[in-house]
């Protein structure tokens, strides 16, 4: 599992974010202190609001891990009723 550290030396897990049509999500990456995420969980990837995890892929190529990523989340925006 690819693990990094932030400026405070805390463990950080990084995930690539893609949309259901395999396009990069905005923002394209998500950093978190937890490696344990499941389909249906909601994340807040930056200032773009909440996103729902549709798929979790941690069986990624070694080059992706070498870049410091733990896996890939397929996500969709969460639309809240007004």
Tens digits of per-residue pLDDT, 34-77?
A: 999 999 999 999 887 899 999 999 999 999 999 999 999 999 99
- 49 φ, ψ to 5°? 90, -170
47 belongs to a structural domain: yes
Domain that holds residue 14: 4-57+71-77
17 belongs to a structural domain: yes
62 belongs to a structural domain: no
12 belongs to a structural domain: yes
Overall number of domains in the chain: 1
Is residue 6 scored above 80 in pLDDT? Answer: no
63 belongs to a structural domain: no
pTM: 0.85
For range 10-24, the mean pLDDT: 94
82 belongs to a structural domain: no
């Amino acid at each position: 599992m690819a693990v990094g550290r932030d400026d405070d030396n805390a463990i950080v897990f990084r995930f690539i974010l893609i949309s259901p049509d395999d396009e990069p999500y905005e923002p394209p990456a998500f950093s978190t202190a937890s490696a344990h995420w499941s389909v249906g969980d909601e994340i807040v990837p930056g200032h773009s609001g909440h996103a729902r995890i549709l798929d979790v892929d941690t069986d990624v190529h070694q080059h992706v891990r070498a870049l410091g990523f733990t896996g890939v989340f397929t996500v969709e925006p969460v639309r809240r009723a007004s």
